[in-house]
Structure 1
């Protein structure tokens, strides 16, 4: 008798299954939204805040309308229709997602709110539909009393949300593409509809369910509608940290992370500099007398680490947090670990905290155009880096910002923060004017100021395998920092400092031997240009930082 009661208690009713599935799907779609929105709008706190807000608003509206009509409309048949409608909309998101994103970009909103229309258009309707399920299920529940029924239903739905969050984060995103993950949640909705309708499924409901399931499969298999840039996609995957793609265009192979190019390699000359800011990595060789051990925080395509390890015969460590990036670098960017090159799949700050090694040079190359890990920007991080540097050690930071004007806030805050720890700080903008660009900030533990003329003299005397005359010409050693904060672990408003860059022109030049000319783009048109233009991936490399 006890065994029978136990099995009965564990068996979920159809309304409870519906609530559980709606929780799984809604939370899974919320996490998936971050992956779909990030390539166009970045993954800043504003983007994630917008995602959470839109999903909560859509669910609340669904709860409200569902609760108002639950006493007269709640039925298994109505829940079947809601799940099929949700699955159909998800199929549309998979198939027309790029077109919908492109349309949403046109809304003239301040940068921090720019992602709201896209999130609302893509994920508001299906989340709203799923919001009806809980009040309908509470009405259909066998529990006695309104309080008991609603409490039980929302508990089951919350458990479903927990399952959806963990399953999407730890299993689906590392294993499947965005389209495939959308397919999973679409098919889950169809399967729930079929289960709730059984055993009175009927030919009509069965036919509708089959049609919706087929549309989901076709949408996922097609990869969606939308114009894409030219180039041959060599490899594409979702990692726990980002969407990753390797694209070949002519002799240039480019690594894209979250839709933005982060490294490029000339296939015919793997150690050549493709982007014209990467030669600046060699400046520290003119600012100290001896470099024997180097740490790169951030790997990407490993342009810098490869060249240092091969040309200078120095020991190079690389801390790259994403193991898939490391694997791709080895498979597609001719990266090989050796006595001189060691790769560690861990975060940069964690690596510095745990290592006992000291370095002559630390290169901080882990920033994205629209996403900066704040833990690598603060005074506390700079102090940790300084502790891991030798007596004459150098910290080199590849910062993306403008050298002056409103869009320079992040650069000047980083400059000010580094100056709190290091006695001398220099900067080298990589482009003319005040456009958003790569600015190389160099901090030295040696308190003696090195003048621009001294750097020129050292460039002429020292044979470091590369002429840095043009790079030295951008020398700066003073910045106004009274209006920007010092970044600290307990307060590092990086997202708000980056915000003024949206809408500003962002320029990345290319070296003469890369085979392409310097190009530029407007940062607030990146999403539209990348979706609608048919230009090459190499030219698109002007839209984001590259390693």
Structure 2
């Protein structure tokens, strides 16, 4: 320790404390999104709450610290503040999920639902870190208040920059939430010990105690056994939290604690969730199903749809998936064969891929939406016009939308319908459950202006061998368009997707298993409350392909 202090002799203890507090505060702010999102989503309301709480807590800490700096500021006092913050971080890692669950049931409007949890989890440690800067300014050896303050602001900002970039590009893609919390806690404890070296006996005992708490908290957060089955793999990717579980013969992919895909390990191309059967409807809507030669899936997940298309049809299937680790997991756990000549997997953003590709597609399947997180750039008129320009003369766009068919939670579906209708002459709606229930709503937009009715689809279903009997799905076709006067057309310069999704917060998302012996059944992994890590209180996890 003495050698380290010698090498850092040019840097004041106050400067080190400010730098570390900047790293920790901004790092925790980035990390908080990953901790809060599974229960409350990651909408603009959630992130606005996170940013507002952190700024408020820091401001209060600056204010209180400034008033007490003249009497209390000392290196030892800053060390105690860092140690107390580390102890609170250990508590977040150890019991954060329980605290979030306890607070998620408070009767608040949906857009404010995350406020109590964010305040309780991250307000106190951020408030404590706010004391560091005014204490450091008081202890600065620089002459003049302005110069001392400027130096503190500069050092703290540099630390915040490092905390933001380091957490975003290094820690989250590499470590779990629990282990990232341990890193920040260990950094705070180490800095506290460094500031008071040789340490006081009281600080030494407490530093050992806090270090032990961090180790226990990190260890408890890294053991994975869930009600949904045995955890086979989990990771924090650059885009989301990823987890693979297996219960009996069903293997499930969770992204941000939402069910995104499921596979029967004994029959990898079988439809596990009922809504994936609707993917075959374009083969009935087409005048000739053999004309569907090239298909693009925007969003890969567990590759349920692409795998079934490759197995069933003589078509080239392209898939563009933004998260490279999702592709890797699909290969390792979901029977994705990247060497299949019919299947081409591309890593990247779907809209950017469509801008750059020179292929023309007969069918584009848009499956990149979640219940709480929808990339707005894939919902607008401009995007649908881009997709239309990449479709063949009789091409179709298929959108797997999570919303309700009617009621307040239907706003996103109805806005998407209205937006698609600006570009395509015909839009078909196939609800998978119906009514006011939040569900998978399948929208199919065609360039062909001739409307195909349910009777024609039934006749084609009996006549054509497309590998899947869609009688039940055809019965879901809605003959009339939904009312759209009260919802906007989504455009790049105005796409209020978060406010359209807001009415779904607190509602159960129902997804059915594929028919067994002629009967579709609710998925037991989704309908009952499970370990309470869904987006809303006692809600089921969401689903995608």
TM-score by length of 2: 0.94
Query: 1:228, 1:52 → 2: CA distance?
Result: 31
Aligned partner of residue 543 in structure 1, secondary structure = coil
Give the superposition deviation at 1:9: 11
Flag the 1:524–1:354 CA change in 2: closer, same or farther, 3 A: farther
User: Which of residues 512, 518, 527 is equivalent to 2:522?
Assistant: 518
In the other structure, the counterpart of 1:352 is 354
Contact 2:322/2:350 (<8 A) preserved? yes
In the other structure, the counterpart of 1:449 is 451
Give the superposition deviation at 1:244: 0.3
Aligned partner of residue 339 in structure 1, secondary structure = coil
- CA root-mean-square deviation: 2.4
In the other structure, the counterpart of 2:379 is 377
Query: 1:458, 1:296 → 2: CA distance?
Result: 24
Moved more, 413-422 or 450-459: 450-459
Query: 1:29, 1:523 → 2: CA distance?
Result: 33
In the other structure, the counterpart of 2:107 is 108
In the other structure, the counterpart of 1:173 is 172
In the other structure, the counterpart of 2:388 is 386
- Residues 249-283 of structure 1: CA deviation (Å, up to 9, x unaligned): 00000000011110000111100001110000000
1:319-338 alignment to 2 at 5 Å?
319-337=320-338, 338=340
In the other structure, the counterpart of 1:310 is 311
User: Which of residues 478, 485, 498 is equivalent to 1:482?
Assistant: 485
Aligned partner of residue 499 in structure 1, secondary structure = helix
Flag the 1:38–1:530 CA change in 2: closer, same or farther, 3 A: closer
1:23 has 2:25 as partner: no
In the other structure, the counterpart of 2:184 is 185
Stretches of structure 2 lacking an aligned partner (at least 5 in a row): 1-5
In the other structure, the counterpart of 1:263 is 261
Give the superposition deviation at 1:86: 0.3
Flag the 1:367–1:123 CA change in 2: closer, same or farther, 3 A: same
1:159 has 2:158 as partner: yes
User: Which of residues 497, 512, 515 is equivalent to 1:509?
Assistant: 512
Give the superposition deviation at 1:222: 1.6
Aligned partner of residue 234 in structure 1, secondary structure = strand
Query: 2:116, 2:493 → 1: CA distance?
Result: 32
In the other structure, the counterpart of 1:128 is 127
- Residues 79-137 of structure 1: CA deviation (Å, up to 9, x unaligned): 01000000000011111111111111122111111011111111111111000000000
Flag the 1:408–1:531 CA change in 2: closer, same or farther, 3 A: closer
- Residues 375-408 of structure 1: CA deviation (Å, up to 9, x unaligned): 0000000000000000000000000111111111
1:212 has 2:210 as partner: yes
Query: 2:52, 2:528 → 1: CA distance?
Result: 23
In the other structure, the counterpart of 2:3 is none
Contact 1:98/1:531 (<8 A) preserved? no
1:546 has 2:541 as partner: no
Moved more, 124-133 or 7-16: 7-16
1:282 has 2:284 as partner: no
User: Which of residues 396, 412, 426 is equivalent to 1:424?
Assistant: 426
- Residues 3-62 of structure 1: CA deviation (Å, up to 9, x unaligned): xxxx99992200000000000000000000000011111110011111000100110010
Give the superposition deviation at 1:516: 9.3
Contact 2:244/2:253 (<8 A) preserved? yes
Flag the 1:434–1:36 CA change in 2: closer, same or farther, 3 A: same
In the other structure, the counterpart of 2:249 is 251
Give the superposition deviation at 1:526: 7.7
Flag the 1:525–1:493 CA change in 2: closer, same or farther, 3 A: farther
In the other structure, the counterpart of 1:468 is 470
Give the superposition deviation at 1:202: 2.8
Query: 2:35, 2:528 → 1: CA distance?
Result: 17
Aligned partner of residue 506 in structure 1, secondary structure = coil
1:363 has 2:357 as partner: no
Contact 2:507/2:536 (<8 A) preserved? no
Contact 1:507/1:543 (<8 A) preserved? no
In the other structure, the counterpart of 1:3 is none
Contact 1:63/1:131 (<8 A) preserved? yes
Aligned partner of residue 443 in structure 1, secondary structure = strand
Query: 2:95, 2:439 → 1: CA distance?
Result: 33
Give the superposition deviation at 1:227: 9.1
Aligned partner of residue 232 in structure 2, secondary structure = strand
Moved more, 189-198 or 372-381: 189-198
1:438 has 2:437 as partner: no
Flag the 1:88–1:229 CA change in 2: closer, same or farther, 3 A: same
Contact 2:419/2:490 (<8 A) preserved? yes
1:398 has 2:400 as partner: yes
Contact 1:271/1:303 (<8 A) preserved? yes
Query: 2:347, 2:395 → 1: CA distance?
Result: 24
Aligned partner of residue 513 in structure 2, secondary structure = coil
Give the superposition deviation at 1:528: 3.8
Query: 2:318, 2:525 → 1: CA distance?
Result: 34
Query: 1:156, 1:203 → 2: CA distance?
Result: 30
Flag the 1:378–1:523 CA change in 2: closer, same or farther, 3 A: farther
Flag the 1:364–1:505 CA change in 2: closer, same or farther, 3 A: same
In the other structure, the counterpart of 2:234 is 236
User: What is the number of residues matched between the two proteins?
Assistant: 534
Aligned partner of residue 509 in structure 2, secondary structure = strand
Query: 1:212, 1:516 → 2: CA distance?
Result: 52
Contact 2:174/2:236 (<8 A) preserved? yes
Contact 1:24/1:160 (<8 A) preserved? yes
Contact 2:258/2:534 (<8 A) preserved? no
Aligned partner of residue 362 in structure 2, secondary structure = strand
In the other structure, the counterpart of 1:197 is 196
Give the superposition deviation at 1:212: 1.1
Flag the 1:178–1:413 CA change in 2: closer, same or farther, 3 A: same
Aligned partner of residue 511 in structure 1, secondary structure = strand
In the other structure, the counterpart of 1:70 is 69
